[in-house]
Amino acid sequence: MKTTTDFLKMKTQGEKIVMITAYDYPTATFSEQADVDMILVGDSLGMVVLGYDSTMPVTVEDMIHHSKAVRRGAKDTFIVVDMPFGSYHGDPNEALKTAVKMIQETGANALKLEGAGEVLEVIKKLTKAGIPVVSHLGLLPQSASVLGGYKVQGKTSEQAEQLIKDAKACEDAGACAVVLECIPYQLTEVVTKELIIPTIGIGAGPYADGQVLVFHDLVNFGNHHVPKFVQTFSFVGEEVERGVKGYTKAVKDGTFPTLEQSFTMKEQVLTTLYG
Ligand code: KIV
Ligand code: NA
């Protein structure tokens, strides 16, 4: 399994870091078999798997339940788990307790927290306690209602400067990497140059040290909204639709199951059965 030291080395050597989200045993298995560098159990879980329209209803228990399945499917991959909305904004000691519980119960390697500012103290606390923290800056889905929706961030010079400051503050607080979501690629380039720790972009252009995409987005599986920056690498949804419709039709038509797909019994037993 790779470590945070390996990710630092990958940055200095210019080797791209591949991160993907996973939410259950099969998505974790596919991800580990594809040799991704890190798996994120994202709270995007709420949208792509649980059918909510934002990440805000996702609970600590939801994250733990799904992360355990991901760990069972990806025993040798570095796993980052999102701390969900509301689980790290109150008393930092409570946040630490929650973080310890999430790590202990899931066997994850790191936790991801959105934002800087007030959250910096929590990043410090977790890191000091031995829990690696991945920061998340730019578009913060857990704050979408305050940010005025899912919009590109860091487009003005004030916003851009703030983001650079925040990124450095996260690094100083002990973060081992920072996810940059939905910011102009030029800003990603600057932040990536200024930081020692790796940047992992999503909708942030090609100049980050790594990339992350939502599993269901990149294989086009599901009926949630897919953002414009996503590339579709396969069309799983179409195949699933074909399968489920085909099965339904075959049962209705009586073409499934056939006798070849059925079990039989010995002749002697049959005579007693049919009389
Ligand atoms: O929850 C998630 O999937 C994420 C990624 C988009 C970075 O936080
Ligand atoms: Na997330």
Domain boundaries, the chain: 4-234, 241-274
Element (H, E) at 106: helix 92-106
Q: What pLDDT does residue 152 have?
A: 96
User: If you take atom 1 of ligand 1, which residue's CA is the nearest one?
Assistant: 42
Cα(44) to centroid of ligand 2, in Å? 5
| Contact assessment for residue 127 and residue 173, using Cβ atoms and an 8 Å cutoff | yes
The response to whether residue 44 sits with its C-beta less than 6 Å from ligand 1 reads yes
| CA distance linking residue 143 with residue 65, whole number of Å | 24
Q: What pLDDT does residue 147 have?
A: 86
Q: What pLDDT does residue 224 have?
A: 79
Please classify residue 233 by burial: count the beta carbons closer than 10 Å to its beta carbon, then call 0-12 exposed, 13-18 middle and 19+ buried. Answer: exposed
Q: List, in sequence order, every beta strand (DSSP E) within 77-229.
A: 78-82, 110-114, 133-138, 177-181, 199-202, 210-213
The CATH code of domain 4-234 reads 3.20.20.60
Angle at which helices 92-106 and 119-128 pack, to 10 degrees? 50
Consecutive sets of 10 residues in the chain, 275 residues long: mean pLDDT of each? 98 98 98 98 97 96 98 98 97 97 98 98 98 98 90 97 98 98 98 98 98 98 90 97 98 98 94 84
The response to whether residue 211 sits with its C-beta less than 6 Å from ligand 1 reads no
pTM of the model: 0.96
CB atoms < 10 A from the CB of 107, how many? 14
228-259: per-residue pLDDT in tens?
999 999 999 999 999 999 999 999 999 999 99
Would you say the C-alpha torsion 245, 224, 204, 12 has a positive or negative sign?
Answer: negative
